[in-house]
Structure 1
Amino acid sequence: MAWLSPAFPIGGFAYSGGLERAVLDGLVKDASGLSGWLSSLLRHGFLWNDAVLFGVAWRRFEDEAGLMETAELGLALAGSAERHKETLSLGTAFAAAASAWPHPVLDRLPTAVLFPVAVGAVAAAHGVPAVQALAAYLHAAASQSVSAGIRLGVAGQTEGVAILADIEGLITEIAGKASLATLDDLGGATVQAEIASLRHETQHSRLFRS
């Protein structure tokens, strides 16, 4: 709970995962659209891939070469410079902050470590079960997106809480699947989200870094 709290010093509040551009382009207009956006990312987008990478890193936490391979593949899958910067910045910050819970796994993490790999490996090293850790990770990601949506004006706070309540079942489902997934299960089909992330790179005025 501490690692995935908004108070954990990784700067997650500064990123929207392309949502800001999606709102500007009219792809997400209201709370219903935000809920659909999140559900799509969880089932078919970068959040699914993050969950798969998390699960693989959880199983490989004692394998330095395996963690390196997983991190390199994950970074190569970043569909835009914004997405690459976001996951790398969060991963690096997480690894640094997690040193408050000393463990040899921190020395096995690659220098360029993406966020789900860092969290997955550290969770495994400290004995946090994979499904529970994945559910917490995905819930935190969804909460961040909802918070961004509220700041962008497409949902109110009450609507945001309702979105989180509605997708609890989906988060549980995805966490269970991803805990058993392999790198062969990576893949996505959220083309509009990828385009939004690309277009955000050249957006003149913005609230978020991605």
Structure 2
Amino acid sequence: MATGDMPSDGVAGRQALLRLMAWLSPAFPVGGFSYSAGFESAIVEDHVRDGDGVEAWLLTLLSAGGMRNDAILLGEAHRLQSEGQPLEDLISLATALAGSAERHAEMTRLGEAFVQAAAAWPHPVIERLQGPIAYSVAVGAVAAAHGVAKDDAIAAFLHAQISQYISVAIRLGVIGQSRGVAILAVAEQPILAAATELSPLGLDDLGSATIIAETLSMRHETQYSRLFQS
């Protein structure tokens, strides 16, 4: 079938995929390369020493930590936007869940930068996302507004988050690029499983069991020598 003969839903689906790829690309101007969500402290304080440590740390955050909560918040934002419901309460809750001043600054700066950049694809949702807003909420609402499926948005978001953590580990010299790619490959199935599991969850399912990671995020605020802002 020629490209011009493709059904409109197929074209729309590919368009949504391209937008999702653009929004969560490392080249998208949100400044994510400046932040580590406390992972720098985990490395500096010797909690993570090698590739196996990086892999275990990230899979734990995915299953029981901050990444899990971010995915749930993204899914809730997607649902509210899809149903035409207000986003204000979710925006307030998501920013209040930040465990430290650095994490609050990180999530809101990324969120605001994402909204500003996503305005290149005009949509009324942009006007609903003004002011401090958590990155995950911004991604969820914009994805829903442009017809990106919730499961796809969650999976792509988690993939981008893990990729960012891997980039931190590479830049801090814990692993090389080959090991980083290998970790990303190992994370593929857990990411897909998490997207399926977390997509139907709601705010009552928020919670984490990664106390050390949360504490390290706070300790980063007073860390003497830092490459990252969080």
Fold-level match, TM-score > 0.5? yes
**Alignment match, 1:111:** 131
Q: Is the 8 A contact 1:47 1:138 kept in 2?
A: yes
CA–CA distance in structure 2, aligned partners of residues 82 and 36 of structure 1: 24
> What is the CA-CA distance between 1:65 and the residue it aligns to?
6.3
Q: How far does the alpha carbon of each residue in 1:17-68 deviate from its partner, in whole angstroms, 9 at most, with x for none? A: 1010000111000011001110111111110000000000001115776311
Select 1:79's aligned residue among 99, 109, 112.
99
Q: Is the 8 A contact 1:15 1:208 kept in 2?
A: yes
CA–CA distance in structure 2, aligned partners of residues 137 and 98 of structure 1: 15
Q: Is the 8 A contact 1:68 1:110 kept in 2?
A: no
* Equivalent runs, 1:10-49 vs 2, <5 Å: 10-49=30-69
Let me know the Cα RMSD of the aligned residues: 1.1
Q: How far does the alpha carbon of each residue in 1:65-96 deviate from its partner, in whole angstroms, 9 at most, with x for none? A: 63111111111111111111111000000000
Q: Is the 8 A contact 1:64 1:109 kept in 2?
A: no
Select 1:7's aligned residue among 27, 30, 45.
27
Q: Which amino acid aligns with 1:33?
A: G
**Alignment match, 2:171:** 151
**Alignment match, 2:216:** 196
**Alignment match, 1:182:** 202
Q: Is the 8 A contact 2:102 2:218 kept in 1?
A: yes
Name stretches of at least 5 consecutive residues in structure 1 with no aligned partner: none
**Alignment match, 1:70:** 90
**Alignment match, 2:153:** 133
- Number of aligned positions between the proteins: 210
- In our comparison, the structure showing a higher alpha carbon Rg is 2
Moved over 2 A (4+): 62-66
**Alignment match, 1:61:** 81
Q: Which amino acid aligns with 1:151?
A: R
Q: Is the 8 A contact 2:112 2:130 kept in 1?
A: no
CA–CA distance in structure 2, aligned partners of residues 38 and 95 of structure 1: 26
Q: Which amino acid aligns with 2:179?
A: E
Q: How far does the alpha carbon of each residue in 1:150-205 deviate from its partner, in whole angstroms, 9 at most, with x for none? A: 01111110000000000111111111122111000000010110111010001111
| Identity in percent | 55
CA–CA distance in structure 1, aligned partners of residues 111 and 100 of structure 2: 17
Aligned partner of residue 189 in structure 1, secondary structure? coil
